[in-house]
Chains A and B, each alone.
Chain A
Amino acid sequence: MMADLAETQKEIAKREEHEKHERFIKPSFIVSNALFLLTLLAIYLPADTMVEIVRTITFGAVDAPGGTVPASSIEFYVAVLISWGLFMWRYIAGGKKRSTCNIASVVFLFFLIWEVLSTDLKITHPVLIPLPENVFAVFTRIPGELWQNVYTSLTLLAQGFLTSLVAATVIGLFVGWLPKVRETVFPIAKVLAPIPAIVFTPYLVLLLHSFRFAAIMVIFLGIFWPTLMNTILRVESLDLRILDSAKMMGLSTPTMIFRVLLPYLYPTIVTGLKVQLPAAMLMLVMAEMYGASSGMGYFIINYTNYANYTNVVAGIIVVGIVVTVLDALVGLLIRKTVKWSE
């Protein structure tokens, strides 16, 4: 009897092990890894070999012209390996395994096609489509310049964003609290909120003489109205019984604000960041394309003007990374600090 039981348990354990195994290696997982290996192979193979292979397959239909050869492939290897590392980490630690695989497949497929068409077969435009090797080499060639521009952009972003967030929250609290003021301010906010703040940029640059100030102003305008409206609506929707309970404790005004209203508003504020931070970044980069002398938007527009598309593509990738990192940080902040719901 006991032996039977032990046997069954062992079998169950074995089956579970097997299921786990099966669940871990999904078909989409194999596809992404295959694409990853293919990408590495494509980078590794010399251009001539690739051309030979394609000629053989297509019976000489494709005739690749000669072109530039990348100086170094190491950076591209590293980029592909980092992508793979991120993918494996998300796959092992994260929940949505299938979509992780799909995203990774798309990324590796993109790298693969880019590499094959540009470096290997040389059938893309040699100036407009830079070689991936050269694009990723920008990260080691001018890291200081990239970092400097990212830093400038982030400083402006932080300044515009924080002032706007604080102002909108404070004013929103005040306005939401007083029904008479709310009835006046809310319709005004409703009209002003949908105006894309970016349209003010050229005018603000002229008006304020300083690009720094103009950029901060644009971010401020872009974030202020939606945050103000959110805050007003949220304060208005505070359950009267919660408020009455607080009043019955005889709370002082500061306690009411800091221990009741702000904790109540906090989740709205941080979840709002999820939308507003990328929006602010967008406005900033756009603004930097007018009249700035540094920043990521400047970096991109400047090298576009000089037709250095290698740097342009690298700059676009940097902006993508910055936005993704900011988004991940906001996500982390929300997960770690918002523990309640209604």
Chain B
Amino acid sequence: MPSIVFKDVDYAYVDANETFEALENVNLEIEDGEFLCLVGHSGCGKSTMLSLIAGLEHPTRGEVLIDGKPITGPGPDRSIVFQNYSLFPWQTAVKNVRFAIQQTKKGASKAEADAKARELLESVGVGEAADRYPFQLSGGMRQRVAIARALAIDAPTMLLDEPFGALDPMIRRRLQEMLLDLWEGSCCKTAVFVTHDIDEALILADRIVFMEPKHIIKTFALPKDRSRNVDDLDAATKAIKDEVLELFEATATGREEEE
């Protein structure tokens, strides 16, 4: 059963009295428990898709449904991880996570929430930095805390907007593995992940959705039981990678001609 549905969605925003069309007649169904990657050049509308699911933006036409009901605004049934800095800078790592727990699970005692927060930080590998403030953490550690906070909300849908975009490759690889483990361990969370890194998408996704400006061009289903090692892809996955790369190439030249 599809959990998130885009139905004939248009989205336009107004900036300096000019209207920009970001999405045009987009249709997409995201299955329950699926790990979906939205891939494309920057400015293709993939982050907009995520904002629409989050309820931070509203479609100008059509509708976005979650479990059959239209999304009216942001809420704790979805959690979000942004690129870079979205932790509360005035709270330590553990307080950031604890705050998310206390706000979304009413009735949790402070001690319970604290224990749970520390456990979550431990599970993302920053247990020892629990009492540090975000400004005292490296970029990778901040993203780990941000993921812990998203997990703390314990929402059935997890939205990730290039969460590893600003990290160096080594740390990026490690966090991808961690995220995959957490996702597999959680079972049945729906994840929508925005990236422009094909390798990242190949490691993480069940399905890759390729976008050019305003439209979805093509979706690729990846074999469930594939090896998730980018250096050692099986033939089917390799073929998908080549095709996505070609699409990247094609949409890039298209963009240049437009300009």
Contacts and interface: CB of A to CB of B under 8 A. Distances in A.
Interface of A: 239, 241-242, 244-251, 255, 259-260, 263-264, 266-267, 339-342
B80 A245 contact: yes
A248 B74 contact: yes
B133 A241 contact: no
Contacts of B78: 248
A263 B88 contact: yes
Contacts of A249: 76, 99-100, 103-104, 153
A264 B85 contact: no
Nearest to B79: A248
A268 to B, nearest CB: 11
A79 to B, nearest CB: 43
Nearest to B84: A241
A242 B146 CA distance: 11
A340 B99 contact: no
B74 A247 contact: yes
A251 B103 contact: yes
Given A260-B88, A264-B88, 16 more contacts: A241-B82, A244-B82, A245-B80, A245-B82, A245-B88, A246-B88, A248-B54, A250-B74, A250-B104, A251-B103, A259-B99, A263-B91, A266-B90, A340-B135, A341-B133, A342-B89
Contact of B86 (A241, A251, A263): A241
A242 B80 contact: no
Interface in B36-95: 54, 56, 73-76, 78-80, 82, 84-91
Contacts of B89: 242, 264, 340-342
A223 to B, nearest CB: 24
Contacts of A244: 54, 56, 74, 80, 82, 86
Contacts of A250: 74-76, 103-104
Contacts of B84: 241
Interface in B101-150: 103-104, 133-135, 149
Contacts of A263: 88, 90-91
B54 to A, nearest CB: 6
Contacts of A342: 89, 135
A112 B148 CA distance: 64
Nearest to B155: A248
25 contacts: A239-B85, A239-B86, A241-B82, A241-B86, A242-B85, A242-B87, A244-B54, A244-B86, A245-B82, A245-B88, A245-B149, A248-B56, A248-B74, A248-B79, A248-B80, A249-B100, A250-B75, A250-B104, A263-B91, A264-B88, A266-B90, A340-B133, A341-B133, A342-B89, A342-B135
Contact of B90 (A239, A245, A264): A264
Contacts of B79: 248
A245 B86 contact: yes
Interface in B202-249: none
A342 B87 CA distance: 10
Q: Which 10 A-B pairs have the closest CB atoms?
A: A241-B86, A247-B74, A263-B90, A250-B76, A241-B82, A340-B133, A245-B86, A249-B103, A250-B75, A248-B74
Contacts of B86: 239, 241-242, 244-245
A227 to B, nearest CB: 19
B202 to A, nearest CB: 27
Nearest to A342: B89
A96 B79 CA distance: 48
A182 to B, nearest CB: 17
Nearest to A267: B90
B154 to A, nearest CB: 11
A97 to B, nearest CB: 28
A250 B89 CA distance: 19
Given A249-B153, A250-B76, A250-B104, A339 B133 contact: yes
Contact of B153 (A239, A247, A248): A248
Contacts of A246: 88
B148 to A, nearest CB: 13
A241 B90 contact: no
Most chain B CB within 10 A, of A241, A246, A248, A255, is at A248
A249 to B, nearest CB: 5
A341 B89 CA distance: 7
Contacts of B90: 263-264, 266-267, 340
Contact of A255 (B87, B88, B103): B103
A24 to B, nearest CB: 32
A9 B146 CA distance: 48
Contacts of B103: 249-251, 255
A255 B76 CA distance: 15
Nearest to A339: B133
A242 B80 CA distance: 11
A224 B88 CA distance: 28
B177 to A, nearest CB: 24
A80 B135 CA distance: 44
Contacts of A341: 89, 133, 135
A151 B200 CA distance: 67
A259 B100 CA distance: 11
Nearest to A252: B103
B75 A248 contact: yes
Contacts of B88: 242, 245-246, 260, 263-264
